[in-house]
């Protein structure tokens, strides 16, 4: 019932349908929207958000501006753990569901802040707009692997294809005429789940792999990046 939406720039757009649904239908849910923008005159849906917060007690909106004008009196800088805790008024963040959507650079920073607050990963949902532009810039990417490094992937019947570290496995498979069932291409829907027999891959933050899949070595090729030679069961 207690939802926290963290949006950056145009990342506010997918949240608006949920905000309207909850407020228009007077659903029994509390929404805390933390919305980061570069300039205070860049705020999208500013008037609608203001109107809805004034008429619905179950919606709170907090703006965080990185480059504020002299007239702006709200939060400035970045969406830090301290800012999030302040918005939640001393309640336990670990008890809430967090939804993130915004520019790619925002995810790593905000996820670190949520980790500081003790928010379990299972309580975080991320809207990812396809594969990141530069996967090697993501937190956790091993320094010894370059995005142009090339590896081999062994498939059933002895077939071997070549892949690149900086490209999702799905792209390489499709280029070689191998199609997998897929929908989101963002590591969320699980339709493309594939058994990894050997080797290591990197999944960026936000890829939602079930605990049982992780235990038995399943990966999401749409957002899995090879770190060495692999063997897949397809």
pLDDT (0 to 100) of residue 9: 84
Q: How confident is the model at residue 200 (pLDDT cuts 50, 70, 90)?
A: very high
Asked whether residue 131 is domain-assigned, the answer is no
Residues 95 and 187 in one domain: no
Residue-wise pLDDT tens digits, 160-180: 999 999 999 999 999 999 989
Q: How confident is the model at residue 206 (pLDDT cuts 50, 70, 90)?
A: low
Residues 114 and 23 in one domain: yes
Q: And the tokens for 98?
A: 């967090």
Question: Is 0.75 topped by the overall pTM?
Answer: no
The C-alpha atoms of residue 91 and residue 103 are separated, in whole angstroms, by 27
Q: Is the pLDDT of residue 13 over 90?
A: no
86-90, 105-109, 123-127, 206-210: least confidently modelled range: 206-210
* Residue located via tokens 């235990």: 215
The C-alpha atoms of residue 96 and residue 3 are separated, in whole angstroms, by 6
Q: How many domains does the chain have?
A: 2
Residues 121 and 172 in one domain: no
Domain of residue 161, CATH code: 3.10.20.30
Looking at 96, 126, 156, the residue that finishes a domain is: 126
Asked whether residue 135 is domain-assigned, the answer is no
The C-alpha atoms of residue 130 and residue 135 are separated, in whole angstroms, by 12
Domain of residue 46, CATH code: 3.40.50.80
Looking at 126, 156, 178, the residue that finishes a domain is: 126
Asked whether residue 24 is domain-assigned, the answer is yes
Asked whether residue 26 is domain-assigned, the answer is yes
Looking at 126, 154, 185, the residue that finishes a domain is: 126
Give the range of the structural domain holding residue 107, as residue numbers without chain letter. 2-126
Residue 34: its H or E element:
strand 30-37
What DSSP designation does 199 have? S
């Amino acid at each position: 019932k207690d939802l926290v939406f963290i949006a950056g720039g145009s990342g506010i757009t997918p949240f608006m349908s949920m905000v309207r649904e909850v407020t228009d239908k007077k659903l029994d849910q509390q929404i805390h929207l933390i919305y980061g923008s570069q300039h205070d005159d860049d705020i999208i849906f500013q008037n609608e958000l203001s109107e809805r917060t004034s008429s619905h007690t179950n919606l709170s909106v907090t703006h965080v501006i990185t480059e504020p004008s002299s007239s702006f009196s709200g939060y400035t800088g970045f969406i830090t753990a301290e800012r999030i805790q302040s918005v939640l008024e001393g309640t336990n963040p670990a008890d809430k569901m967090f939804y993130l959507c915004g520019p790619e650079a925002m995810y790593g920073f905000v996820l670190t802040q949520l980790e500081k607050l003790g928010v379990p990963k299972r309580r975080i949902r991320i809207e990812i707009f396809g594969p990141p532009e530069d996967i090697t810039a993501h937190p956790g990417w091993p320094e010894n692997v370059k995005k142009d490094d090339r590896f081999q992937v062994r498939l059933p019947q002895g077939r071997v294809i070549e892949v690149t570290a900086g490209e999702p496995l799905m792209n390489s498979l499709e280029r070689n005429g191998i199609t997998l069932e897929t929908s989101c291409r963002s590591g969320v829907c699980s339709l493309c789940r594939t058994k990894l027999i050997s080797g290591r891959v990197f999944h960026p933050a936000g890829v939602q792999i079930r605990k049982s899949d992780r235990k038995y070595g399943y990966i999401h090729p749409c957002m899995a990046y090879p770190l060495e030679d692999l063997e897949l069961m397809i």
